[in-house]
């Protein structure tokens, strides 16, 4: 069984639709302060690489949230559409937006050291701290 597949999805109001040919089935949760402020809880996403096409792109606004990433949302309903790494243009799409039924596997959590104590997931996952994430993905200073 392949670890990636094609998928389609949309925002809550349908003003923005998207498709990808390379959605991975692994779901990750981010517990950083920005993600929790953005959505009121952890951001649960699937990696869609760089191959995402949008319909209704005039309804997308992008927030430059850090030196290395940006977040897209629908200007009509406010749905969070993506978290995108600037350097690689890699999209992480909230799993709840995906229309395609898939056998998703929740297998990793990032910024685990920033997770508040009032919730926890029962799944056994690979956990990465803030320092580990910055070491792997943040642009290197010249």
Q: Please write the tens of the pLDDT for every residue from 54-96.
A: 999 999 999 999 998 999 999 999 999 999 999 999 999 999 9
Does residue 135 have a pLDDT over 90?
A: no
Which CATH number applies to 4-137? Answer: 2.170.150.70
Predicted local confidence at residue 142, as pLDDT: 55
3-state secondary structure of 60: strand
Q: What is the pTM of this model?
A: 0.88
Would you place residue 1 in the very low, low, confident or very high pLDDT band (cuts 50, 70, 90)?
very low
Q: Residue 93 phi/psi, 5° resolution?
A: -105, 135
Domain range list for the chain: 4-137
């Amino acid at each position: 069984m392949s670890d990636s597949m094609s998928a389609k999805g949309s925002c809550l109001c349908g003003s923005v639709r998207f498709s990808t040919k390379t959605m991975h089935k692994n779901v990750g949760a981010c517990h950083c302060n920005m993600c929790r402020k953005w959505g009121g809880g952890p951001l649960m996403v699937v990696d869609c690489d760089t191959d995402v096409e949008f319909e209704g792109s005039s309804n997308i606004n992008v927030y430059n949230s850090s030196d290395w990433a940006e977040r897209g949302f629908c200007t009509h309903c406010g749905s969070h559409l993506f978290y995108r790494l600037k350097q690689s243009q890699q999209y992480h799409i909230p799993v709840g937006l995906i229309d395609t039924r898939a056998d998703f596997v929740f297998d990793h959590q990032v910024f685990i050291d920033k997770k508040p104590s009032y919730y926890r997931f029962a799944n056994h996952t690979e956990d990465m701290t803030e320092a580990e994430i910055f070491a792997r993905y943040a642009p290197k200073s010249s």
